[in-house]
Chain A
Amino acid sequence: MNQWKNFSKGFIKENPVFVLLLGMCPTLGVTSSAINGLGMGLATTFVLLMSNIVVSLIKSLIPDKVRIPSFIVIIASFVTVVQLVMQAYLPSLYQSLGLFIPLIVVNCIVLGRAEAFASKNNLLTSAVDGLGIGLGFTFALVLLGGIREFLGSGKLFDFTIYSENYVTLLFVLAPGAFIVLGYLIAIINRIKKD
């Protein structure tokens, strides 16, 4: 398979958030700013990449009947790694992402790629797939976080763009997440059709 095609499919064509509608909880929960979205996206990308690599390496050793529990244990181990590293080196990001870091374990994207892709493909293809899908997820989170941060607090990546007197606070609160994502999906659907 063409590795570049394999890598780039995660951005628009098979974007996990906009097209496959997977991993909605972190997508909505952490995107009150672009930086939070970026942090969450990269953390998930790491877990996705590593779990895809390990699953594709040991796929022949895992009996078919216990493969889902085995995948979950592999994923949970890498999530714990991310959790401990982030707690030590990025404590403020760890604070703002909070509960959603351990919840990467139950992110359907990660388990979905392990089951549907990495357990059937070789090391290189699986790694490229994990990286592509992970960065596509990151792209979606940064886009959503950027729009919400811009409309809701007048900033972008923490740089002030316009005065706080003109912001619509609603967009950084819970309802804003649903509404912005709804319109983004509508726009992406439109782009894909053309």
Chain B
Amino acid sequence: MNYLVIIIGAILVNNIVLMQFLGICPFLGVSKRLSTAIGMTGAVAFVMVLATIVTYLIQTFILDAFGLAYLQTIAFILVIASLVQLVEIILKKVSPALYQALGIFLPLITTNCAILGVAILTIQKEFNLVEGVIFAVANAIGFGLALLLFAGIREHLDLQDVPKGLKGTPIALISAGILAMAFMGFSGLV
């Protein structure tokens, strides 16, 4: 039951992109084509779950154990940055096909605030490791849902007759606002 609340809360009610404004850069940057959106979602999901597990272990066994909680920001960003590098190297060796699909998105992920955000939120909400992993997976799904919906909308926007002043970023932001409005319908669900 508790897990269900976490999952629905993270995917629909507090959607990480549309309600919490994390990961807006990839949301606006790679949402022009559906295919790139799918690749980005895969890469984010992969790193988000891995980063949450690693940062959780570091927080519990190193930072908390030695009273170094104030080093959280520095420790987490360094871990995430090196993790991304590591994932890139391992993927290149182990699964060239997956590397081909996700490769170009991996370097962008270090500065994706959704990853660091979810890692810090997991600590702030005092989840245990299982809840943390479920929370990360649900947030990755929520990120993918928002990104794919938005990519679909933008592919259609290309064909529409948008007023000249609103072309490009302005109309994309306004459509994102309307999408966020739709997600507000889920509030109160949990």
Contacts and interface: CB of A to CB of B under 8 A. Distances in A.
At the interface, is chain A mostly helix, strand, loop or mixed? Answer: helix
Interface stretch (A7-15, A52-60, A101-109, A156-164): A101-109
Interface string A159-194: 000000000001001111111011101100110000
A69 B81 contact: yes
Most-contacted residue by chain B among A69, A99, A107, A181 (CB, 10 A):
A99
Contacts of A182: 166, 169-174, 176-177
Interface stretch (B57-65, B70-78, B96-104, B130-138): B70-78
Contacts of B23: 25
Interface string B155-177: 00000000001100111111011
A interface residue count range (under 10 / 10 to 19 / 20 to 34 / 35 or more)? 35 or more
A186 B177 contact: no
A102 B73 contact: yes
A86 interface: no
Interface of B: 18-25, 28, 70-74, 77-78, 81-82, 110-113, 116-117, 120-121, 124, 165-166, 169-174, 176-178, 180-181, 183-184
Given A76-B78, A108-B25, 13 more contacts: A24-B28, A25-B23, A25-B113, A26-B21, A72-B78, A79-B73, A99-B20, A102-B73, A174-B18, A178-B176, A178-B177, A186-B165, A186-B170
